[in-house]
Chains A and B, each alone.
Chain A
Amino acid sequence: MHLSNIKIINKITEAKAAIIKTGIFMSLAAYWGVILVGTFITFN
């Protein structure tokens, strides 16, 4: 297999991992956002 093909496959794998990590981070941020907004609304 050509070195360039291996590099492309690695880049695709890294891009997939980056998308998944971003997705998880956004979900956590949304989750905590709901909790904090809910707390704020409860105490107002």
Chain B
Amino acid sequence: MDVFLPIAQVFVNPIEILLLSAIVGVLSGLFGVGGGFLMTPFLIFLGVPPAYAVANEANNILATSVSGSTTHYLKNTLDYKMGFMIVIGGTIGTTLGIITFSYFKDLGKIDTVISLAYMYILAIIGTLMLVESLNEIDRAKRNLVVKKKLHVHYWIHGLPLRMRFPKSKLYESIFTPIIIGLLVGFIAAIMGIGGAFILVPAMIYIIKMPTKLVPGTSLFVTIFVSVIVTFFAFI
């Protein structure tokens, strides 16, 4: 029983889409991601043109993010201050991403760009995870205990304009969350994702937020990023 989508100009099975979105929704709540990096490729595999998959998925991510954020707000596992700092960067990044998206769309190359962007981002993440897990297996086999310092400071932690984030118990530069938000917003606008699957590891490993606050805060940021992408997709 296929349904015709007049704007995307494709036939899709609504039951397949409902099942896929249910699975993606469960994963979304569990990991604090919007589900866009799963759902957008699924929509592309189902035959929806990439440009339409990106725009529609931003809309879907908005719904899952609002739902997830509300739950985390009720459980008091959301750092608003950090979230707003990331949103500032996310707004700029998303706007730049939309401009880039429109540029490639006018060139007629947007479908290729989206497919390539997914391929590269997922390939890079997969490679990094493979290398990390192989190193971990190697260390475990050799019974090597790596003594990690309590705090490891990179150049990003030396940036100016420091601010206190009492909920996360952090004192760091506002540029850190802003730069991360900018990158995430840019990628989110091109790929039709919320950006959370990049944002969550960035918040844990770069910003060093407590893990319990990360899913809620990333869903909170995703709301604003997906609102901007949805808005620009409509105009």
Contacts and interface: CB of A to CB of B under 8 A. Distances in A.
Contacts of B116: 39, 42
B112 to A, nearest CB: 6
Contact of A28 (B112, B120, B127, B138): B127
Interface of B (DSSP majority class): helix
Contacts of B120: 35
B134 A31 contact: no
By size class, the interface of chain A is under 10
Contacts, number: 15
Contacts of B138: 17
A24 B134 contact: yes
Contacts of A21: 134
Q: Is chain A's binding surface mostly helix, strand, loop or mixed?
A: helix
B119 interface: yes
A24 B133 CA distance: 12
Interface in A4-34: 17, 21, 24, 28, 31-32
B182 to A, nearest CB: 25
A35 to B, nearest CB: 6
B113 to A, nearest CB: 10
B130 interface: yes
Interface bracket on B: under 10
Contacts of B26: none
B203 to A, nearest CB: 28
A28 B119 contact: no
B134 A32 contact: no
Nearest to B127: A28
A35 B112 contact: no
Contact of B119 (A17, A24, A35): A35
Given A42-B112, A42-B116, A35 B134 contact: no
Closest 9 pairs between A and B when the two form their complex, measured CB to CB = A35-B123, A42-B112, A39-B116, A35-B119, A28-B127, A24-B134, A42-B116, A32-B123, A35-B120
Given A17-B138, A31-B123, A35-B119, 12 more contacts: A21-B134, A24-B130, A24-B134, A28-B127, A28-B130, A32-B123, A32-B127, A35-B120, A35-B123, A39-B116, A42-B112, A42-B116
Interface of B: 112, 116, 119-120, 123, 127, 130, 134, 138
7 contacts: A21-B134, A28-B130, A31-B123, A32-B123, A35-B119, A35-B120, A42-B116
